[in-house]
Amino acid sequence: MDQPQVYPFKFEPIYQYRLWGGRRLADELTKPLPKEDPIGEAWLLSDREDHQSQVTNGPLRGQTLGKILSQFPRQIMGELYQQFPRFPLLLKFLDAQKLLSVQVHPTDAHTDLLPAGETGKTEAWVVLEAGKDSRIYAGLQPVTTAENLRSALANGSVTDQLTYFTPKPGDAVFLPAGTVHSLGDDVVVFEIQQNSDVTFRLYDWNHVDAKTGKPRALQVDQAIACINFEQGKKGPVVPVVEATAPVMRERLFDDEHFRLWRILGESSFNVGAPARPRVLVCLDGNGQLENDNTTDDVAKGDVLLIPAAVGVCVFRPNTPVTLLEIALPE
């Protein structure tokens, strides 16, 4: 029996309880939120053993991302199929009603701090919603050293060592591994990151987890070992406009780990690339994604993996749309 051909795959979000979360992801996604718990994260595309995204459309509906990659490595990954033992990115929405812990992630070079099979964790945010009191902390004051950071942690003055700004919708923030960061107080973001779950907490704002009645563990020594103290303040990136017709196309991030564009408009436009996989995330509006074999309805909150074998597709908006298009490292 012939195997089904690959096609643009849609996936169901995986909701995650977080003590700092809220209920606003119901505005970004159609899948109902579970119970009344604070939901801090929706994992949109995940190839991790404990959290596998499931296909929701076509002949391979119900299969996991890991399964289809093992079945169709060349068709999905194209020229990149031998480079990655698993899908190299993890995509999320975050609803940070309270502040996340002040944290840092290791680089790929910190092999002594990485569990087996894990990579470093460079990430980036695109702000979707923010309030007047929202904060993004990214980077340290120029005078900060490991010694005075430890002192600030001990005496409760750690915020004096952090730099921050008040985000607004549309801001894009790049956070290389080694950057001290946090965000919260009523902010919703899209997050793209290396496929890693390694986080070291410096400070947790005296949060107590309602499920355990206890504060969460800190990993101060590991965190300080990862920090790039030379980096300084991080703020919103300046988008690079690559095209204004038929739609606006802005490049937000161009890094060795991922490239990401934001596309805005209401005319038809091309997405995807020959012999390379691409990922689409619909932030607003709706339309259809068309290729030679299939047409898929796409609405706000949908994420689609366009296999390399599918290549270039046409997106036809029904309304003005905002899409993110993501390319993998090469």
Q: Where are the beta strands (DSSP E) in 85-232?
A: 89-96, 102-104, 123-130, 135-140, 162-165, 172-175, 181-184, 187-194, 200-203
> Measuring CA to CA, which residue among 324, 305, 330 is closest to residue 68?
305
Low-confidence residues in the chain, pLDDT < 50? 1-2
Between CA 190 and CA 42 the distance in angstroms is 10
Tell me what pLDDT residue 295 has. Answer: 93
Between CA 104 and CA 222 the distance in angstroms is 9
Q: Is the peptide bond before 246 cis (omega within 30 degrees of 0)?
A: yes
> Measuring CA to CA, which residue among 287, 302, 282, 315 is closest to residue 56?
302
Between CA 138 and CA 310 the distance in angstroms is 38
Beta bridge partners of 95: 188
User: Max Cα separation, the chain?
Assistant: 68
Between CA 305 and CA 296 the distance in angstroms is 12
3-state secondary structure of 222: helix
Between CA 13 and CA 301 the distance in angstroms is 9
> Measuring CA to CA, which residue among 228, 158, 189 is closest to residue 94?
189
pTM of the predicted structure, to 2 decimals: 0.96
Q: How many CA atoms lie within 13 A of 216 on its CB side?
A: 20
Residue ranges and CATH numbers for the domains of the chain are 9-226 (2.60.120.10), 240-327 (2.60.120.10)
Tell me what pLDDT residue 2 has. Answer: 46
H-type alpha helices, 11-111: 65-71, 73-77
Taking the CA atoms of residue 121, residue 306, residue 272 and residue 175 in that order, the dihedral angle to the nearest 10 degrees is -10
Give the torsion sign (CA, 228, 232, 234, 237). Answer: negative
Tell me what pLDDT residue 4 has. Answer: 64
> Measuring CA to CA, which residue among 320, 302, 264, 298 is closest to residue 28?
302
| Per-residue burial over 221-255, b = 16 or more CB atoms within 10 Å of its CB, e = otherwise | ebbbebbeeeeeebebbebeeeeeeebbbbbbbee
CA 31 vs CA 61, 91, 210, 270: distances in Å: 16, 16, 25, 28
Question: The tokens of 216 are what?
Answer: 């969460």
> Measuring CA to CA, which residue among 216, 167, 208 is closest to residue 190?
167
CB neighbours (10 Å) of residue 312? Answer: 12
Report helix, strand and coil shares of the chain as percent, to nearest 5: 10, 40, 50
